[in-house]
């Protein structure tokens, strides 16, 4: 299992753990999310619940369990911590444009100024060093393109050239079509995802539910995402504005 995980995660940028949760756990998570109440994310026909671990003892327990998961720990090597947690429910017509990747351009008033290496992936002396890792726990089957599956640019987690396309105009895969790969999963599966991988979600055309729980982890020295501006007077908050994506 460990050798298979190491090879697959390093080669593809993700690993699918089938039957990660059972039907009883899945129903508990669905009921808990409904009790927390879904809110409009104001993004691409998607409902969202933020800060799951702060709002629910059930999800706090899940966060601790994921943090202790030996496979997730292997992806970072360094001592790690939880950065964020949230749930998503995609409506018909919703999508997530490609984003992420170890060389996505950072913007300042719409002008690319630098590449984002905050989620870069490295392999050194037999160990994997991921700067951000997501655990995506799927509560519903995603078995066809109509269900709006996760998709990614093959090999992008190891890219040495920047991947920058017009996310807002829908041309992000132009010239990369042969490298686009969808990922189908069954309910109860967990995708351990390297954030260095350029990824998104296909347009959801079906009326079947598409709900998932997301936990983001990183080495303890990685800070939380926050709004930054190059014009900020406070020396602790000076930075760049990231392109407009969902997370």
Give me the residue spans of the domains in the chain: 2-219
Chain mean pLDDT for the chain: 86
Q: Indicate the burial class of 46 (C-beta count within 10 angstroms; 0-12, 13-18, 19 or more).
A: buried
What are the DSSP calls for 151-171, one per residue? EEETTGGG-SS-----TTTT-
Helix (H) or strand (E) holding 3: helix 2-12
Strands, E assignment, 70-175: 80-90, 96-99, 104-108, 111-116, 121-124, 127-130, 133-138, 150-153
Q: How far is CA 212 from CA 34, 61, 106, 156, 215, in A?
A: 13, 17, 27, 23, 10
What is the predicted pLDDT for the residue at 246?
A: 43
Residue with tokens 């079509």: 177
pLDDT at 112 over 90: no
Q: Which CATH superfamily is domain 2-219 in?
A: q2cbj1_9rhob like domain (2.60.120.620)
Most confident of 93-102, 200-209, 237-246: 200-209
Handedness of CA 98, 100, 105, 111 (dihedral sign): positive
> What are residue 109's phi and psi, to 5 degrees?
55, 45
pLDDT at 245 over 50: no
Structure pTM? 0.89
Distance CA 14, CA 12 (A): 6
């Amino acid at each position: 299992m460990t050798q298979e995980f190491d090879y697959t995660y390093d080669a593809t940028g993700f690993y699918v753990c089938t039957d990660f949760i059972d039907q009883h756990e899945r129903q508990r998570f669905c009921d808990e999310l409904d009790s927390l109440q879904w809110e409009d994310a104001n993004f691409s026909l998607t409902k969202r619940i933020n800060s799951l671990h702060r709002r629910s003892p059930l999800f706090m327990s899940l966060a601790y369990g994921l943090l202790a998961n030996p496979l997730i720990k292997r992806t970072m090597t360094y001592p790690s911590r939880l950065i964020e947690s949230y749930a998503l429910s995609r409506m018909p017509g919703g999508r997530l444009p490609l984003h992420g990747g170890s060389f996505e351009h950072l913007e300042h008033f719409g002008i690319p100024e630098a590449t984002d290496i905050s989620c870069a992936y490295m392999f050194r002396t037999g160990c994997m060093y991921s700067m951000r890792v997501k655990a995506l726990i799927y509560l519903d089957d995603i078995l066809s393109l109509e269900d709006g599956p996760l998709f990614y640019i093959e090999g992008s987690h190891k890219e040495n050239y920047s991947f920058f396309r017009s996310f807002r105009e829908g041309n992000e895969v132009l010239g990369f079509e042969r490298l686009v790969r969808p990922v189908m999963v069954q309910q109860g599966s967990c995708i351990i995802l390297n954030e260095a991988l350029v990824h998104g979600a296909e347009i959801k055309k079906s009326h079947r539910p598409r709900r998932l729980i997301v936990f983001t982890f990183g080495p303890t020295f990685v800070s939380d995402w926050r709004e930054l501006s190059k014009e900020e007077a406070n020396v602790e908050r000076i930075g760049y504005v990231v392109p407009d994506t969902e997370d």
